Structure 1
Amino acid sequence: MEKRNFGRTGRQFPILSFGAQRIVDEHYCTEEEAIQIVNRAIDEGITYFDTAPTYSKGQSEERLGKSFGNRRDQVWIATKTGERTRDGSWRRLEESLKRLQTDHVEEWRLHAVGTMEELDRIFAEDGAIKAMIEAKEQGVIKHISISGHRNPLVQLEAINRFPFDSALVAVSAADHFIYSFAHEFLPQANEKGVAVIGMKLLGLGLLAPWYENALRYTFSLPISTAIVGISSMEQLEQNLRVAREFQPMDDIERLDFLKEIMHLATPGVLRWKAKDWNEGKEWAVR
C-alpha cells in the first residue's frame, strides 16, 4: 500500500488505517473475530488504529487491548475524549489506558468538536486542552489531536489556536457538497503540517454501492491516511484490495462519480452535518 507522511511527526502510514468502532457485538463481530481481524490487519501492514471510549461503552478499546498482546510496539493507538474539562478528560484517559492494556497512547483526540462554544470550553482555564498538555508532558500520550464532522470552520479555528499534531475529519465524497473539509480545512492543515486523517468514507454505509470509488475519492485527497470501519474479515480484505490497487481519481472520474451521488447530499443522509442528527431535516447553522 502507498504510504504517506503523517504531518510533522516524522512517521508514515499506509493510506488505509483501521477504524475500530465496529469490532464489537453491536456490529455482530465477536471477540474472537475481532482479535483475528486486528492481527490480520497488522500482518498486512496496517499499524494505525482509531478507537474511542464511547464506542460500545468501551468494548472497542477492550478488544483492541486484547488483540495487540505482545504486538503493542507494532501499532499506533489513537483514542479520544468527549469530555471538555481537564478533570473529566483525565478520567476518560485513565479508563481508556486500562481497557487498552497499555501505559500510553500515541495519539489522544478531542472527540467530535462541532461548535465554537465547545472549542471555548476546551480552551478554558479548566478545559480539556490542559489535560492533553499535561498528559503529553508526562509521556502518557505522544501527540495531541482533534476531530470534527460538522463544521470545518471550528477545526480551522482550533489549529489556529493550538499546534495540533493531527485532525480526524469527515471527507467522504458526499461531504464534498456541503461544509466541505476537503475544500475549507485541508489546504490550511497541510500548510501548517497538521496530519489529516479521513473518516466517514462510506457515509455510514450509504456509499456502499460505490464502494471502490468511495475509497478512491478519499484516498485521492491530500490526506495522511484514512480510517475505515471494519467488522468482518471480508470487509478487511476488500479494503486491502482497494488500497493496494489504488490509483488516484482524475478530474473526469471524480466529476462522473460526484454526479452519480449528488442526490445523497441531504441532511437526512449526511446526519453529522444536520442541525439534529435524529431528525435530519435541515442543515446545521454555522
Structure 2
Amino acid sequence: MEKRKFGRTGQEFPILSFGAQRIVDEHNCTEDEAIQIVNRAIDEGITYFDTAPIYSKGQSEERLGKAFGSRRDQVWLVTKTIDRTRDGSWRSLEASLKRLQTDHVEEWRLHDVRTFEQLEQCFAKDGALKALIEAKEQGIIKHISLSGHTNPSVQLEAIERFPFDTALVALSAADHFIYSFAHEFLPKANEKGLGIIGMKVIGLGRLAQWYEKALRYTWSLPISTAIIGMESMEQLENNLRVAKNFKPMTEPEMVEFFREIMHMVNPDVLRWKAKDWSNKEEWSERL
C-alpha cells in the first residue's frame, strides 16, 4: 500500500488505517473474529488503530487490547476523551489504558468537538486540553490530537490557538458539499504540518454501494491516511484490495461520482452534520 508522511510527527502510514468502532458485539462481530481481523490487518501492514472509550462502552478498546498481545509495539494506538474537563479526561485515560492493556498511547484525542462552546470548555483552565498536555509531559501519550465531525470553523480555531499534532476530520465524498473540511480545514492544517486522518469515508455504511469510489475520493485528498470501520474479514480484505490498487481520482471521475451521490447529501445520511444525531431533517447551524 502507498504510505504517506504523518504531518510533522516523523512517522508515515499506509493510506488504509483501522477504525475499531465496529469490532464489537453491537455490529455482530465476536471477540474471536475481532482478534483475527486485527491481526490480519497488522500482517498486511496496517499499523494505525483508532478507538475510543465510548465505542460500545469500552468494548472496542478491550478487544484491541486483547488482539495486540505481544504485537503492541508494532502498532500506533489512538484513543480519545469525550469529557471536556481535566479531571474527567484523566479518569477516562486511566480506564482506557487498562482496557487497552498498555501503559501509553501514541495519540490522545479531543473527541468530536462540535461547537465553540465545547472548544472553550476544552481550553478552560481546568479543561480537557490540560489533561492532554500533562499526559504528554509525563510520557503517557506522545501526540495531542482533536477530531471534528460537524463545523470546520471550530477545528480551524483550535489549531490557531494550540499546536495540535494531528486531526481526525469527516472527509467522505458526501461531506464535500456542506460544511466541508476538505475545502475549509485541509489547506490550513497542511500548512501547519498536522497529520490529517480522514473519517466517515463510507458514511456509516450509507455510501456502501459506492465504497470503492468513496475510498478513492478520500485517499485522493491531501491527507495522511483514512480510518475505515471494519466488522468482518471480508470488509478488511475488500478494503486492502482497493488500497493496494489505489489510483487518485481524476477531476472528471470526481464530477461523475458527485453526480451519483448528490441525492445522499442530506441530514439523514450525514447525521454528524445534522442539528443532532437523531435529526433527519435539519442541518446543524454554524454559529
Determine if the alignment matches structure 1 residue 178 to structure 2 residue 178. yes
Counterparts of residues 1-286 of structure 1 (less than 5 Å): 1-286=1-286
SS at match of 1:163: coil
Distance (whole Å) between structure 2 residues aligned to residue 51 and residue 269 of structure 1? 22
CA deviations 1:172-223 (Å, max 9, x no partner) are 0000010000000000000000111000000011111111000000000000
Give the alignment's TM-score, normalised by structure 1. Answer: 0.99
**Aligned structure 1 segments of 4 or more residues deviating by more than 4 angstroms:** none
User: Whole-Å Cα distance in 1 between the matches of residues 279 and 182 of structure 2?
Assistant: 26
> What SS is found at the alignment partner of 2:9?
coil
> Using the alignment, how far apart are the partners of 1:263 and 1:148 within structure 2?
24
SS in 2 for 1:97: helix
Match for 1:112: what amino acid? D
Q: Deviations over 1:208-267 (max 9, x none)?
A: 111100000000000000000000000000000000000000000000000110111111
Shift of 1:280: 2.0
Deviation at 1:269, TM superposition (A): 1.3
1:104-161 alpha-carbon deviations (Å, 9 max, x no partner): 0000000000000000000000000100000000000000000010000000000001
Structure 2 length normalisation: TM-score? 0.99
Task: Give, in angstroms, the shift of residue 276 of structure 1.
Answer: 2.1
Q: Find the aligned partners of 2:206 and 2:6 in 1 and give their Cα distance.
A: 28
1:282 alignment partner, SS class: coil
In structure 2, how many angstroms separate the alpha carbons of the residues matched to 1:183 and 1:154? Answer: 14
CA separation in 1, counterparts of 2:192 and 2:117? 24
Which segment drifts farther, 97-106 or 267-276?
A: 267-276
The whole-number CA distance in structure 2 between the counterparts of 1:59 and 1:267 is 28
AA of the residue aligned to 2:19: G
Q: CA deviation at 1:83?
A: 0.3
The 1-side partners of 2:44 and 2:279 are apart by: 40
1:83 is paired with a residue whose SS is coil
CA–CA distance in structure 2, aligned partners of residues 170 and 144 of structure 1 = 18
Aligned residues: 286
Note the residue ranges of structure 2 that are not aligned, 5 or more in a row: none
Secondary structure of 1:56 counterpart: helix
**Residues in 2 aligned to 1:282 and 1:134: alpha-carbon distance in whole angstroms:** 39
Q: Alignment RMSD, CA only?
A: 0.5
AA matched with 1:272: W
